[in-house]
Amino acid sequence: MPICIALLRGINVGKAKRIAMADLRALLEGLGHSRVKTLLNSGNIVFEAGFRKGRSEASELRRIADEIAAAVQAHAGFHAEVIVISGEALRAALQANPFPAATEQASQFLLAFAPDAASLSALAPLQAQDWSPDQFALGEQAAYLCCSDGILESRLAKELLRQGTCTTRNWATLSKLLELVNPAAATPG
């Protein structure tokens, strides 16, 4: 069974959209997934996915994301955007890091994941703008944002989130997720 990561956008921030990680684990188990683990309280879930035979990985990841979103809606009464990526996609995104020095400020270095390739490609116009002192690069699996003066002060981070198609995680969180995907793995970069 493939190992996947579900990234839920905008949950457990402030008083809105609250859901316990134990409830999320139970929801995914109820959907037929196994070895479900959560990280932090912000909607990071690693699990062995129950893929259906004869379907592409992309269609299965989208189906699973939709099922998780529907389960959260039914259980908690709110909609949360869900992006599901494979463990291999996470590893590839971390290995493709175009800003190796940014890992020294892991909490200010974000990777943005989109629900599909078209949504990620739609971020291409951001590359044409000057975001100094921040940096932006678009990769095959994710977009990379170096927020030099912090995430809350970053015009780039605000613009990316305003577009509403992505969810971001910082390098530190993604490194911990990779360890959950493969406990023997060392963080690339």
Q: Under a CB-based contact definition with an 8 Å cutoff, are residues 94 and 152 in contact?
A: no
Type of residue numbered 161: L
Domain 3-87, CATH homologous superfamily name and number = SP0830-like domains (3.30.70.1280)
Q: Where are the domains of the chain?
A: 3-87, 89-181
Q: Under a CB-based contact definition with an 8 Å cutoff, are residues 27 and 20 in contact?
A: no
- Rg over alpha carbons for the chain, rounded to the nearest Å, is 16
Q: What is residue 164's predicted lDDT score, i.e. its pLDDT? A: 73
CB neighbourhood size of 130 (10 A): 6
Share of the chain above pLDDT 90, in %: 73
pLDDT in tens, 94-115: 999 999 999 999 999 999 999 9
| The overall pTM is greater than 0.85 | yes
CB neighbourhood size of 2 (10 A): 14
Q: Under a CB-based contact definition with an 8 Å cutoff, are residues 5 and 88 in contact?
A: no
pLDDT in tens, 125-180: 999 999 999 999 999 999 999 998 889 889 999 998 888 789 999 999 999 999 99
Q: Is-same-fold flag (3-87; 89-181)?
A: yes
Q: Under a CB-based contact definition with an 8 Å cutoff, are residues 161 and 155 in contact?
A: no
d(CA 107, CA 146): 10
Q: What is residue 55's predicted lDDT score, i.e. its pLDDT? A: 86
Q: Under a CB-based contact definition with an 8 Å cutoff, are residues 107 and 170 in contact?
A: yes
d(CA 149, CA 42): 23
Element (H, E) at 49: none
Nearest to 97 by CA among 166, 130, 143, 151: 143
CATH of the structural domain 89-181, one choice from 3.30.70.1260, 2.60.40.10, 3.30.565.10, 3.40.50.720: 3.30.70.1260
Q: Who has greater pLDDT, 40 or 24?
A: 24
Share of the chain above pLDDT 70, in %: 96
